[in-house]
Chains A and B, each alone.
Chain A
Amino acid sequence: MTSAAEFTGVTQAYGDTVAVDNLNLQIEEGKLTTLLGPSGCGKTTTLRMLAGYITPSAGTITINGADATRLPPEKRNLGMVFQSYALFPHLTVADNVGFGLKLRKVPATKRRELVMANLDLVGLAHLADRKPKALSGGQQQRVALARAIAISPSLLLLDEPLSNLDARLRVQMRSEIRRIQGETGLTVVLVTHDQEEALEMSDTMVVMRAGKVMQTGAPATVFTTPANRFVADFLGYENFLTQSDGSLLTVRPEHLRVTAAGVEPATTGLTVSAVVRESVYRGVDHIVTMTAADASGTPITLVSTTRRDTLTADAGFQPGDLVTAQARDHEIVRLTSDN
């Protein structure tokens, strides 16, 4: 693989706080890489170091093979889209998009052409002469995207670009960004705390925690084989069961089936006796919360959201019911490490 950018031993510390800790990461050319993790995991710091807004305390960053560790942002030729959009409020949409082109001394007619082409790409050519204030949040976001792409950047950096949009628009913009990435062939780095967004959009996802990379891989790989409890937890796994040999199993709540105690168990897989604590009706399914014990006898909480076969208003289980929770072999994920 060819790297569009590479982090080698990069650390960023503010006083005693280490935001990014000895990071080694390769951003593959022409692909969409997401940095995923909870707030404070170092994902935004990583992106800002790549953009040149923060200088690493240690380590090197290369862009297209050249050392860029201490290069100021204006010399990196990267397109950045900010969470707050950060459009220039005193300039029209067209002048916003043309800002970088003007600095590159692109002649006026050619510039106008490129501006319109990029606005076309995001479907906003008809708003070229408006001021940003007159645009909706979603439209402002598209202008920010067009502005970043217009300079033909070597990488497109997106810092939580969808988090200020409403839910419906957010889902729409995900495929929109994917489409634009496909059409332009750009290398994209996206920062997000939304696992669904990362799974849906990434070629490669990088899950981070406390300044370190926990796991890197294709969405399907990371989702089906999380490296450790943190990644599993972040991707929505629940039901962590320590085995007698000390290893850890996990089952997604939608894979854990609950039946009344005494019903014939599945031939292979996991079978645990439990007591229902709560059962909440949610339309398509129930959330059944149970108390059980793992191999060492420590009390654990199990959660099941398996769909019922028929739609029924019946609450299913009552608190105190004795039940059996089951999962089949292929639904059980064995975690290799417990950090």
Chain B
Amino acid sequence: MKGRPILGTLAVLGYIIMIVPILFVVSTAFTAGDALTFPPQGVSLRWFGEALAYQPFVGALLSSLQLAVVSTALALLLGVPVTLAIQRGKIPGKSLVEGLFLSPLVVPELVVGLALYQQIMIGLHQTSFVALLVGHTVLLLPYAVRVTGASLALADPAVEEAARGLGASPLRTFFSVTLPLLRPGIFSAGLLSFVTSFNNVPLSLLLQSRQFRTLPVTMLDYVQQSYDPMIAAMSTLILAGTVVIAIVAEKTLGFAKIFGGINK
């Protein structure tokens, strides 16, 4: 940053704006006192214990994980073949198909949520888990298509042609060459999808039910009733989980490689 004082100052300011609020939350989570205040009074793990013993949080955490895992798997199962069809296939109106699968990025989630509420929960009498699963899968599809698409676009088509020339059928080529080439892309798409589903509020809020409620919705609900350090402790636990995922991603693939694809 030498010789670029303005850029350096802005970067530092940016980090401060992003990190300081998080530090407030994390530090208050370790308080020994009863109030969500800063600076925290003493240090203890008491609120972590309380958060993990609080049944609504634990139940909601399991629901969120369940929903995130299944919707990520569904989004990948649908998204990867779509990506292949868009990039390698000879289908008419490719850009239309691509646009269709990326459209959830621009349609307001509240509209999607309301539509699913009307059709699936009211119309078809399905549970809110089914409605949420459909909603989240649709929400995650653009990420699956874009991120795997970016990694497929970087792969040399001649590699697949070489496999064909050496005697591999199209199916064999897919499993022994294309899929291994796409593995990093699929992995990062999965990671991104998981985090997106786990953090989602609008859809999860609209499609919740007494039986099935995700963690962010439950926490939102809790904050409206009571304001104590347990919410900070729960947030800190989620943060820790995210950091672990980020470290795994960085160790296996490198962050730039994973998230580079989306910015293009």
Q: Which residue of B lies closest to A147 (CB)?
A: B166
Q: Does B134 contact A (CB under 8 A)?
A: no
Which applies to chain B's interface (DSSP): helix, strand, loop or mixed?
A: helix
Q: Does B11 contact A (CB under 8 A)?
A: no
Closest approach, in angstroms, between the C-beta of B52 and any C-beta of chain A?
Answer: 41
Given that A89-B181, A90-B181 are contacting pairs, would A82 and B167 also be in contact in the complex, using a CB cutoff of 8 Å?
no
Q: Does A79 contact B (CB under 8 A)?
A: yes
Q: Which of A51, A72, A88, A147 contacts B177 (CB 8 A)?
A: A88
Q: Which of A4-12, A96-104, A199-207 binds B?
A: A96-104
**150-206 of chain B: CB within 8 A of chain A:** 156, 158-159, 161-169, 172, 177, 180-181, 183
Q: Using Cβ atoms and an 8 Å threshold, which residues of chain B touch A79?
A: 165
Number of interface residues of B (CB under 8 A): 17
Q: Mark A33-70, 1 if CB is under 8 A from B, else 0.
A: 00000000000000000011100000000000000000
Q: Using Cβ atoms and an 8 Å threshold, which residues of chain A touch B164?
A: 52-53, 72-74
Given that A88-B177, A90-B180, A90-B181 are contacting pairs, would A74 and B156 also be in contact in the complex, using a CB cutoff of 8 Å?
no
Q: Does A77 contact B (CB under 8 A)?
A: yes
**Interface pair B159/A74, CB less than 8 Å apart:** no
Kindly name the residue among B161, B162, B163, B164 whose own CB sees the greatest number of chain A CB atoms within 10 A. Answer: B162
**Interface pair A73/B159, CB less than 8 Å apart:** no
**131-175 of chain A: CB within 8 A of chain B:** 144, 147-148, 151
**Interface pair A100/B180, CB less than 8 Å apart:** no
Q: Which of B158, B165, B172, B180 contacts A84 (CB 8 A)?
A: B158
Q: How far is the CA of A83 from the CA of B159 in the complex (A)?
A: 11
Closest approach, in angstroms, between the C-beta of B17 and any C-beta of chain A?
Answer: 40
**Interface pair B168/A103, CB less than 8 Å apart:** yes
**Interface pair A74/B180, CB less than 8 Å apart:** no
Q: Using Cβ atoms and an 8 Å threshold, which residues of chain A touch B159?
A: 86-89
**Interface pair A51/B165, CB less than 8 Å apart:** yes
Given that A53-B161, A88-B177, A90-B180 are contacting pairs, would A100 and B166 also be in contact in the complex, using a CB cutoff of 8 Å?
yes
Q: Using Cβ atoms and an 8 Å threshold, which residues of chain B touch A99?
A: 163, 166, 168
Number of interface residues of A (CB under 8 A): 27
Q: Using Cβ atoms and an 8 Å threshold, which residues of chain B touch A89?
A: 159, 181
Q: Using Cβ atoms and an 8 Å threshold, which residues of chain B touch A52?
A: 164-165
**Interface pair A73/B161, CB less than 8 Å apart:** yes
* Number of residue pairs spanning A and B whose beta carbons lie under 8 angstroms apart: 62
Which applies to chain A's interface (DSSP): helix, strand, loop or mixed?
A: loop
Q: Does A222 contact B (CB under 8 A)?
A: no
Q: How far is the CA of A144 from the CA of B181 in the complex (A)?
A: 18
Closest approach, in angstroms, between the C-beta of A335 and any C-beta of chain B?
Answer: 39
Q: Which residue of B lies closest to A99 (CB)?
A: B166
Q: Does A190 contact B (CB under 8 A)?
A: no
Closest approach, in angstroms, between the C-beta of A70 and any C-beta of chain B?
Answer: 15
Q: How far is the CA of A83 from the CA of B157 in the complex (A)?
A: 12
Q: Does A290 contact B (CB under 8 A)?
A: no
Q: Does A80 contact B (CB under 8 A)?
A: yes
**222-271 of chain A: CB within 8 A of chain B:** none
Q: Which of A51, A84, A88, A151 contacts B167 (CB 8 A)?
A: A151
**Interface pair B168/A82, CB less than 8 Å apart:** no
**97-142 of chain A: CB within 8 A of chain B:** 99-100, 103-104
**Interface pair A88/B163, CB less than 8 Å apart:** yes
Given that A73-B161, A87-B159, A103-B172 are contacting pairs, would A151 and B166 also be in contact in the complex, using a CB cutoff of 8 Å?
yes
**Interface pair B181/A103, CB less than 8 Å apart:** no
**Interface pair B163/A104, CB less than 8 Å apart:** no
**Interface pair B161/A86, CB less than 8 Å apart:** yes
Q: Mark B128-165, 1 if CB is under 8 A from A, else 0.
A: 00000000000000000000000000001011011111
Q: Mark B31-45, 1 if CB is under 8 A from A, else 0.
A: 000000000000000
Kindly name the residue among A72, A90, A144 whose own CB sees the greatest number of chain B CB atoms within 10 A. Answer: A90
Q: Which residue of A lies closest to B157 (CB)?
A: A86
**Interface pair A80/B162, CB less than 8 Å apart:** yes
Closest approach, in angstroms, between the C-beta of A100 and any C-beta of chain B?
Answer: 4
Q: How far is the CA of A333 from the CA of B165 in the complex (A)?
A: 43
**207-258 of chain B: CB within 8 A of chain A:** none
Q: Does A78 contact B (CB under 8 A)?
A: yes
Q: Which residue of A lies closest to B156 (CB)?
A: A84
Given contacts A80-B162, A86-B156, 5 further A-B contacts (CB under 8 A): A76-B165, A78-B165, A79-B165, A90-B181, A144-B162
- 20 A-B pairs with CB atoms under 8 Å apart are A51-B165, A52-B164, A52-B165, A53-B164, A73-B161, A74-B164, A79-B165, A82-B162, A84-B156, A86-B156, A86-B161, A86-B162, A87-B162, A88-B159, A88-B162, A90-B181, A90-B183, A99-B166, A103-B172, A144-B162
* Chain A residues in the interface with B (C-beta under 8 A): 51-53, 72-74, 76-80, 82-84, 86-90, 99-100, 103-104, 144, 147-148, 151
Nearest 5 pairs of A and B residues by beta carbon: A100-B166, A86-B158, A103-B167, A86-B162, A73-B164
